[in-house]
Structure formats: structure tokens, C-alpha cells
Amino acid sequence: MKWTSSFIFTSKEPPSDAETISQKLMHQSGMIDKLVSGIYSFLPLGLRVLKKVSNIIREEMDNAGAQEILMPSLQPASLWKESERFGKMGKDMIVFKDRHNREMLLGPTHEEVVSDIVRKYVKSWKNLPLMFYQIQTKYRDEIRPRFGIIRSREFLMKDCYSFDRSDNEAENSYFLMRQAYEKIFKRCGLNTSVHTADSGVIGGKFSEEFIASGDCAELEIGHIFKLGTDYSEKLHVYFMDRDGIEKPAVMGCYGIGVSRVIAAIIEGNYDNHGIIWPISVAPFLCTIVPVNMSNSTTIETANIIYEDLISSGIEVLYDDRDESAGVKFADADLLGIPYRITLGRKLAERKVEITERKTGKSTDIEIDKVKTFLIDNFRKLL
Ligand SMILES: Nc1ncnc2c1ncn2[C@@H]1O[C@H](COP(=O)(O)OP(=O)(O)O)[C@@H](O)[C@H]1O
Ligand SMILES: [Mg+2]
């Protein structure tokens, strides 16, 4: 991607309402745009990171044996009356009437909808165990949206639901998810600790929260619940067991705030100059910075390196703006791109300078060895 044909607008000043470092840096690097309080757009740079985090989550959910589905945001209130949860979320739940005067809501979570699917199809012990997940937008009209995308009113969540035949099997599903969560957060470059938690309106028998280390007071990024049979009894998710007795499925539910994870990664990976993305979620792996845009040899070499990296599938941002080196360096640091390839004075020796964002360490590399140098380093860091 060339900077001049991309939509990246950086700014020196953080927004006036910014309370956390992630909120400041996401605005300043042009990752997100605030529409109104607690409601954000992801701009191209932010969406690149969102997709990477989502894909890590997808891979680990698939590995754990969960199947991806996509449930609707619009839900009938009648289903929430069946589970006896309607009204329990208070004003956090966005409720309205459709044109036929039926009460509807924008889903803050999906236990009811997933149970409705399972009860229609699962009849026998042979159809279980079952795990469904989705990556989908949730709506919660938070009383105090704050910290940018950390506590917002519309956000992306990965929610997963397990249905088992017995407490023992449900225990196993819970353990598989707990393990998957540990892998996901590690791959995202997050340090997390697990704590027994209050289950709140979701309810159930037991729950644990994954808390990311970092400076923000709001750090919970994942929450896993052993639900037992409360939902399945109320919503009639029953199956015929091997012994001929009809039993309620034993449920679990598991949430990750996908957008919040991005903020948490920044809270744990930044310095005075900007974000320091872990390779696994970086919007671009490297950036090419020609110091002098009016020198034809510099531009020719930059183009050759750019094409070479692209043809090898390396995500590269080519800063082809006619700006000073200082501005470009500052923006590369702000955006947090793991490697900066600088085309400067060393070009006379057919060399470029490669600087690692995290350590600030620079190495002079011959032009035709740039690709192998980067690939070797990505491998070490992934
Ligand atoms: N308002 C929000 N904005 C962004 N992410 C949220 C928000 N509320 C919850 N999340 C994320 O979704 C995950 C699952 O939600 P849940 O445990 O039901 O939320 P809570 O504990 O806030 O009621 C949380 O661990 C968190 O990462
Ligand atoms: Mg929670």
C-alpha cells in the first residue's frame, strides 16, 4: 500500500476526551473515528488490525472444535421473556417496537438465539456435544461509555456457546475454551491473568475473567461461564439421552471483546512515540521510508524493494509522501509498524537501514538481502 493512495490521517494532538493511552493512540494514528459517544468506525488501518485479531480467534476456536455461525443482531423480546431475562439488563438493552408493534431488541448477547437454534435441531445424545461461535456486533447502551472502544455502545464480540450431555462433558468444553483463550491472548502479544468473577446478568454456576496487564482500569478482555442447565430448562433445549431419559443440555458461554482486545494490546505495547505492534497483529509488517523523494535513484530503489516485498506477500506501507524524513519517521513510530526500511545516505553503498520499532536497533542491509532479513526476523518474532 502506498501512503498517498491510502486513507491514513495522523494527528499530533489526542482528542480532548481521551482518558487512556490506547484511545489517544488509536485516534492519533487514524485507526478509528468517533461518530458519537461510544460509537466508532474502524478506518482502514484499524480494520487491518481487527481482521488479524479476528483471524487468530477464528483459528483457535476452530482448533478447539467450535463451528462458526452468524446470528442476527435483531432479536424478538418474546425469546428473552422465555428465558426470564427480559428487563434484567435495564437500560443497557436497546428495545424498540417494529412496524407490527412487536417488541424487538438489539442483541447485547446471544444465549437465547443460539438456544433457539439448538432446540430446533438437536433431539438426541448423538447430536451432542456442540460448540458454536460467532464474531458479531453487540449493542449495549452503557451508562458511561468511555476509554474509546474499551467501553463502547456498539462493539465486536466473539461469543461462543457449548452444549453438552453431562456436567463432566461440559467441564471438558470449558477447559478447551480456557486453553483456547490462553493461546489467543498469547498470540496477540497480551499478558493475561485469570480471576474468578461475578457472573452478572449472564448468570450460571461459575465464571472466570481474563484480565490483560496494562495501564487501563478497565482491562477484562474475556469472560468464560459455566451456565449449567438454567437456560436449557427455561428455553427447552432437551435431548434424549442414551438411557432413554430426556435431559436439558448443559451449557457454557465464552466471550472475547474483539475490539477491546485491540485497545488492550496497545495498553501493553507502546512508548512515548506511539504504538509498538506485535508482529502477529500489526497492520503492516514494515514501512519503506525514502528520505529524499526528489532523488530518482532513491525512488527507483524504493519501488524495486516495494514490488519485491509485495510479490512475497509481505504487508508493506510505502511512505511515498513528499514530507520531511522527520515527519515520516514520527508517523512510522506512531503507527507502530514493526520494521522501518530507510533509504538514505547508505544507498551509495547499495545499502538501506532497517530499524526495529520495538528496540530502536538499526542494521545496514544490502538492498538484495532486505527480503530475507525481514522474513528471518518475522519468523523469530511470530
Ligand atoms: N461495552 C463494551 N465495549 C467493548 N467491549 C465490551 C463491552 N462490554 C463487554 N465487552 C467485552 O465483551 C466480553 C464479554 O462480555 P461480558 O462478560 O458479557 O461483559 P461485562 O462483563 O462487561 O458485562 C468482555 O470480556 C469484554 O471484553
Ligand atoms: Mg464480563
**Tens digit of each residue's pLDDT (9 = 90 or more) over 290-336:** 999 999 999 999 999 999 999 999 999 999 999 999 999 999 999 99
In 3D, which of 70, 278, 272 has the Cα closest to residue 189?
278
* Cα–Cα dist 203/355, whole Å: 50
Q: Which ligand is nearest to the CA of 40?
A: 1
User: How confident is the model at residue 176, as a pLDDT?
Assistant: 98
pLDDT of residue 379 exceeding 90: no
| Residue ranges of E strands in 3-153 | 32-36, 39-42, 67-68, 74-76, 94-97, 103-106, 130-139
CA of 227 relative to ligand 1 center, distance in Å: 17
Q: What is each CA distance from 57 to 39, 62, 135, 269, 372, in whole angstroms? A: 23, 9, 9, 20, 29
* Cα–Cα dist 370/382, whole Å: 18
Joined together, the cell numbers standing for residue 121 give 435441531
- Ligand 1 atom at minimum distance from 221 CA: 27
- The residue to mutate among 110, 223, 254, 259, having the most atoms of ligand 1 within 8 angstroms of its beta carbon, is 223
Cα angle 74-106-118, degrees, rounded to a multiple of 5: 55
* Cα–Cα dist 34/294, whole Å: 37
pLDDT in tens, 21-52: 999 999 999 999 999 999 999 999 999 999 99
Average pLDDT, the chain: 96
CA of 230 relative to ligand 2 center, distance in Å: 18
CA of 209 relative to ligand 2 center, distance in Å: 7
Question: Binning pLDDT at 50, 70 and 90, where does residue 17 land?
Answer: confident
* Cα–Cα dist 208/191, whole Å: 16
In 3D, which of 264, 177, 168, 163 has the Cα closest to residue 221?
264
Residue nearest to atom 25 of ligand 1 (CA): 222
- Ligand 1 atom at minimum distance from 159 CA: 14
pLDDT in tens, 203-219: 888 999 999 987 776 78
In terms of pLDDT, which residue wins out, 225 or 17? 225
Contact yes or no for 369/376 (Cβ under 8 A): no
Give the mean pLDDT of 152-162.
Answer: 98
pLDDT in tens, 95-122: 999 999 999 999 999 999 999 999 999 9
pLDDT of residue 89 exceeding 80: yes
Q: What is each CA distance from 334 to 113, 119, 201, 359, in whole angstroms? A: 42, 50, 39, 14
pLDDT of residue 141 exceeding 80: yes
Going along the chain from its start, the domains and CATH numbers come out as 3-270 (3.30.930.10), 284-381 (3.40.50.800)
User: How confident is the model at residue 214, as a pLDDT?
Assistant: 77
- Residues whose CB is less than 8 angstroms from the CB of residue 180 and which lie 6 or more positions away in sequence, other chains included: 60, 61, 63, 64
Residue nearest to atom 10 of ligand 1 (CA): 257
User: How confident is the model at residue 73, as a pLDDT?
Assistant: 98
Q: Provide, rounded to the nearest whole percent, the portion of the chain with pLDDT above 90.
A: 92
Contact yes or no for 78/103 (Cβ under 8 A): yes
Q: Provide, rounded to the nearest whole percent, the portion of the chain with pLDDT above 70.
A: 99
pTM for the full model? 0.96
pLDDT in tens, 245-270: 999 999 999 999 999 999 999 999 99
Per-residue burial over 21-31, b = 16 or more CB atoms within 10 Å of its CB, e = otherwise? bbbbbbbbbbb
CA of 249 relative to ligand 2 center, distance in Å: 23
* Cα–Cα dist 366/8, whole Å: 30
pLDDT in tens, 272-283: 999 999 999 999
pLDDT in tens, 185-204: 999 999 999 999 998 988 88
Give the mean pLDDT of 226-254.
Answer: 98
pLDDT in tens, 346-359: 999 999 999 999 99
CA of 222 relative to ligand 2 center, distance in Å: 7
Question: Binning pLDDT at 50, 70 and 90, where does residue 241 land?
Answer: very high
